[in-house]
Amino acid sequence: MSTRLLNLPSLPKWWKNEFNFFLIILFSIIIHAWCVWQLPTDYDEPVYVQAGSEYAKLIKNADILGIINYPENREHPPLIKILYSIPFLIFPDIKNTDFYLFAARSISAVFGVFAVAVVAKKNLWAGLFLAFHSMTIKYTSQAYLESLPMLMVIISVLALEKAKVGPKKYFWISSLALGIAGAGKYPYLLIAVVLIAMLYKNQKFNFQDIVKYFIVALLTFFLLNPDLWINPVNQIIDVVRYHTLYSQSAHVLESGYVWYQPIRFISSSVPWHPEVFFFLTLDELVFGLTLVGIYFEFREKGWTVVWFLVGILFLLIWPTKWPQYTLFLTPVMAIIAGKTVTRGINWLRPQEEYWNYFEEMLPQPPKITWWVLGIFVGSLFVGKLAYEFSLAVARQGWNLYTKENSPLSSNLIYQINTDKPGEIAIATDQGLNIWRQYSELFIWGEQPQNFNIENSELNSNIIRSIAFDSLSQVYWLGTDLGVSKLSQSIENYDKSSIGCTDCQVNDIFLDLESNIWVATNEGIYQFDNKNWTHFSSKNPGIENETVLTVFIQEYEGRSILWAGTLTGISKYDLVEKKWTNENWAGSFFGWGGVSDIGLTSDGKIVACTFGGGIFFWDGNKWDFLRNTNAPLKSNTVLSFAEDQNHAYWFGFGYPTEPGGYLMRLDSKLKWTRYFYNTSGYHEGEPFDLDFDKIGRLWIATNGGGVQMYEHEPKNGVNK
């Protein structure tokens, strides 16, 4: 072959394999750093980071027995969680608790980068594939338990392979790495099957060497696992029993993963975080090359075949199908894929040198073409990076909690209530969730609760609204079958006690005297903790009995009942006993009723409407905002809240399509929009907005879980 393919410019003389190795590691470092920064908090991360915090306290107090008997999360060995204690020991007084999560992730990422480096030493293509394998990147960039044991199984296998022809020190390195892998996470001990096969095939080591190998591995595993120091047999039995029972638990069954789910995970890129994995990932390519390469590996009777078969059989047989389990398999897939590419290049190169297929078939553009194309592609690449970085900055402070990464029982959230200090009550279509925040690291606490018809006396799983009575420390819940009172026990009020026929509660409100006001499709019901009164029937004058939201305004010794109905808004003066009605239904295209009513800090009533925009009542007249006089994208306004800086927040939906967005109107009348491409808001339809006592915005969404925005307060805590 006389010229380079496609007349590509020649690489400089200093560009050798060492530089390729450096580039792969650099890419891996950058990608891991990006994911450490950008990946949302995952289900188990708070558990492991919190454990790291508590191990730090035990280490600081030299409490060896406390470390040995640490009761939480004993189904996994403590080594990684002890590593996660290092940031707490070095920086004990950091106020920003996100620091500890990012520090733990960084520890995980370091091991992930080392894993790429070790694999790249074996085969550059394999290192490149592992560096851009999204499932591996995700779980080695988060505070999970996978990164160190994955690195150790790679080292254990490759060191034993090297020990066949190299110094015996690699034999002992392999043994130590096996012990560390098991002390990191028990399932990684499966690599012992691969190592036994390698030792059996290799005649260099005799039986005594093999026995010593596993004794060293066992001692390493034992010494690095304090859980086993006192009662190892019972602890191992407990671990096996736990994982057997857990594999049949409701949490696992609710995931809905089929028996072949691991195949889905290893054959496609991570589907959950498109805003993070915006770059090219190679999961599909690695899987395809593995399927091609496994035939040649089988013919060569390589250890890669044993590793792949052991891994795939374990993943398919074991009932728990979490995606992070695939990291036992992904390194060998990268190695097989890398060897497949190398094998293909080695076959193709002499064919091309002899026959010149490509030189004859492919065009030979002038070299200036490649320089122009390189500059163009480079400019696009830099622009894309700048754009993604700006979005990353805008996403700061936003968190998304779904049933996939938190203890939520459903992603359909009707309302959130943070009135009880230290608790977050979440109304869903699968019951009531209560999170008791254990610390800033552990947003849902150690024992999150889910009340539903299966495990409690609730009369319905569909909880549409929540009110908290701080005097009696009671939650009042509006369901689709009536009202439930949650204290030490649950007391239900259905149609027989309330007196309604259709007892779907659309909204519930608690006044200063602890009277309960309930908005239903049959009007408003009042409960004085003794008797139920069909209020809108007893006090006729409300224009429409389909009441979607209810609010009590109390000022200057007066109480005003506001009712948002299907046709407009009704106001009832509880002193003068007089109704005033506003019928807005015929005035707006796409009208659907009043969705939410709130009160601003300066005494204005805010009415959000389906199709009519936003209405403000200043005590004398109504003013309105809609897309004709404000920069609103739609007039479907679902929810309202005011923050500690007296800015108004509104949740918007779309009249003819799913999803939604947020807008903020500050005290200077400046609007800010929060879309997916301008912030961390995931554009779920915002059913409810609620600011907690420390100023965090909680957003209940229709099918998108709970979203939380922790913006920087300027004037202290939220009032």
How deeply is 216 buried, as exposed, middle or buried, from its count of CB atoms within 10 A (0-12, 13-18, 19+)? middle
Query: Using CA atoms, how far apart are residues 306 and 197, in angstroms rounded to an integer?
Result: 8
Q: CB of 402 within 8 A of CB of 408?
A: yes
Task: Confirm if 646 and 665 have CB atoms less than 8 A apart.
Answer: no
Confidence of residue 186 (pLDDT cuts 50, 70, 90): very high
Please give the full DSSP string across 380-402, using - where no structure is assigned: HHHHHHHHHHHHHHHTTTEEEE-
Overall average pLDDT of the 249-257 stretch:
75
pLDDT band at 717 (very low <50, low <70, confident <90, very high): very low
Average pLDDT over residues 635-645: 95
Question: For all residues of the chain together, what is the average pLDDT?
Answer: 90
> Is the pLDDT confidence value at 490 over 90?
yes
Give every CB contact of residue 580 below 8 A, 6+ residues apart in sequence.
Answer: 570, 571, 572, 573
pLDDT bin (cut points 50, 70, 90) of residue 688 is: very high
Written as six digits, the tokens of 179 are 């012990």
3-class state of residue 541 by DSSP:
coil
Q: Of residues 282 and 167, which shows the higher confidence score?
A: 282
Residue 576 pLDDT > 90, yes or no?
no
Average pLDDT (118-137) is: 97
Better-predicted residue by pLDDT, 73 or 161: 161
394 pLDDT more than 60: yes
Helix 283-299 × helix 303-317 angle, to 10°: 120
Of 573, 508, 496, 605, which is closest to residue 547 (Cα–Cα)? Answer: 508
Give the mean pLDDT of 701-712: 89
Please give the distance of CA 697 from its chain centroid, rounded to a whole number. Answer: 17
Measured between its terminal Cα atoms, the distance across the chain in Å is 77
Output the pLDDT for position 1.
45
Give 364's contacts (C-beta < 8 A, 6+ positions apart).
3, 6, 7
Kindly report which listed range (254-268, 291-305, 417-431, 441-455) carries the lowest average pLDDT score: 441-455
Instruction: Specify the higher pLDDT residue, 334 or 40.
Output: 334
3-state helix, strand, coil in the chain (%, to 5): 40, 20, 35
For 257-292, how does the pLDDT look when each residue is reduced to its tens digit (9 = 90+)? 899 999 999 999 999 888 899 999 999 999 999 999
CATH of 398-415+426-433+495-709, one of 1.10.10.10, 2.30.30.100, 3.40.50.300, 2.130.10.10: 2.130.10.10
* Pairwise CA distance, residues 498 & 483, whole Å: 9
How far, CA to CA in Å, does 322 sit from each of 151, 257, 262, 287, 327?
Answer: 19, 9, 8, 18, 10
Bridge partner list, 688: 700
Share of the chain above pLDDT 90, in %: 65
Q: Answer whether 435's CB lies under 8 Å from 444's CB.
A: yes
Summarised one tens digit per residue, pLDDT across range 19-50 is 999 999 999 999 999 999 999 888 889 889 99
Lowest mean pLDDT among 108-112, 344-348, 521-525: 344-348
Give the dihedral of Cα atoms 584, 587, 592, 598; nearest 10 deg: -40
Q: What is the mean pLDDT of residues 205-232?
A: 93
Provide mean pLDDT across the span 535-543.
77
* Residue 709: strand, helix, or coil: strand
Here the tokens at position 526 are 């009042």
- Predicted pLDDT at 586: 81
d(CA 21, CA 662): 46
pLDDT for the residue numbered 713: 43
> How far is it, in rounded angstroms, from Cα 321 to Cα 427?
28
Q: Cβ(521)–Cβ(546) under 8 Å? A: yes
Q: Where are the domains of the chain?
A: 5-352, 365-394, 398-415+426-433+495-709, 416-425+434-493
- Whole-number pLDDT of residue 678: 86
Q: What does the block give as tokens for 434?
A: 């209560």
Q: Which burial class, exposed, middle or buried, applies to 195 when counting CB atoms under 10 A from its CB (0-12, 13-18, 19+)?
A: buried
Return the pLDDT at 27: 96
Average pLDDT over residues 648-655: 95
If pLDDT is split at 50, 70 and 90, which confidence band does 15 have? confident
Q: Which residues contact 403 (CB under 8 A, 6 or more apart)?
A: 254, 409, 410, 411, 705
CA-to-CA separations, 69 to 58, 63, 225, 238, 607, in angstroms, rounded: 11, 10, 11, 14, 56
Closest Cα to residue 317, out of 394, 390, 261, 393?
Answer: 261
Enter the tokens of residue 158. Answer: 């490759």
SS3 state at 455 = coil
Question: Alpha-carbon distance 591 to 363, whole Å?
Answer: 62
The stretches of 420-501 forming alpha helices (DSSP H) are 495-498
Q: Is the pLDDT of residue 342 over 90?
A: yes
Question: Bridge-partner residues for 523, per DSSP?
Answer: 520
Is the Cβ–Cβ distance between 649 and 641 less than 8 Å? yes
* Mean pLDDT across 160-177: 92
Instruction: Supply the pLDDT for residue 360.
Output: 65
* 550 in Cβ contact with 561 (< 8 Å): yes
Asked if residue 211 has pLDDT above 60, the reply is yes
Question: How high is the pLDDT of residue 510?
Answer: 92
Residue type, 570: S
Sheet holding 431-436, edge to edge: 413-417, 423-428, 431-436, 449-451
pLDDT at 714 over 60: no
Q: Whole-angstrom Cα distance, residue 81 to residue 184? A: 9
pTM over 0.75: yes
Neighbouring residues of 262: CB distance < 8 A, sequence distance ≥ 6: 312, 315, 316, 321, 325, 326, 329
Looking at residue 719, what is its pLDDT? 28
Residue that wins the pLDDT comparison between 393 and 606 = 606
pLDDT for the residue numbered 646: 93
The string of pLDDT tens digits covering residues 604-634 is 999 999 999 999 999 889 999 999 999 999 9
Phi, psi of 150 (to 5 degrees): -65, -45
Mean pLDDT, rounded, for 629-643: 94
Q: Could you tell me how many helices (H) and strands (E) the chain has, helices first?
A: 22, 28
How far apart, in whole angstroms, are the C-alpha atoms of residue 417 and residue 502? Answer: 25
pLDDT for 16: 85
Cα gap 108→86, rounded to integer Å? 12
> Which of 557, 552, 565, 567 shows the shortest CA–CA distance to 598?
552
354 pLDDT above the threshold of 80: no
194 and 328 Cβ atoms separated by less than 8 Å: no
pLDDT band at 716, cuts 50/70/90? very low
Cα–Cα distance, 694 to 437 (Å, whole number): 13
Q: Please tell me the least confidently modeled range out of 211-215, 465-469, 621-625, 714-718.
A: 714-718
Helices (H), ranges, 483-602: 495-498, 535-538
> What are the Cα distances from residue 649, in Å, to 136, 463, 627, 686, 697?
39, 24, 16, 11, 9
pLDDT at 540: 72
Alpha-carbon radius of gyration of the chain: 31
Asked if 184 contacts 155 with a C-beta cutoff of 8 angstroms, the reply is no
Output the six-digit token pair for 37: 């920064």
Supply the pLDDT for residue 242: 85
CA 448, 452, 458: angle at the middle one, nearest 5?
125
Cβ–Cβ < 8 Å for 147, 136: no
- Closest among 441, 472, 453, 454 to 102, alpha carbons compared: 441
Section 478-484 average pLDDT: 94
Cα pseudo-dihedral 220, 222, 227, 228, rounded to 10: 180
Region 407-426: mean pLDDT is 94
Q: At what angle do helices 124-131 and 17-38 cross, to 10 degrees?
A: 10
Chain Cα centroid distance, residue 328? 22
**DSSP characters over 432-499:** EEEEE--BTTBTT-SS-EEE-TTTS--S-S-EEEEEEETTTTEEEEEETTEEEEESSSEEEE-HHHH-
| pLDDT tens digits along 654-675 | 988 899 999 999 988 999 999 9
Least confident of 340-344, 378-382, 398-402, 556-560: 556-560
Tokens of 644: 């500690």
Which tokens belong to 159? 């060191």
Residue 352 pLDDT exceeds 60: yes
Query: At residue 656, what are phi and psi to the nearest 5 degrees?
Result: -125, 10
Distance in angstroms (rounded) separating the CA atoms of residues 190 and 328? 9
Residue 440: pLDDT band (50, 70, 90) is low
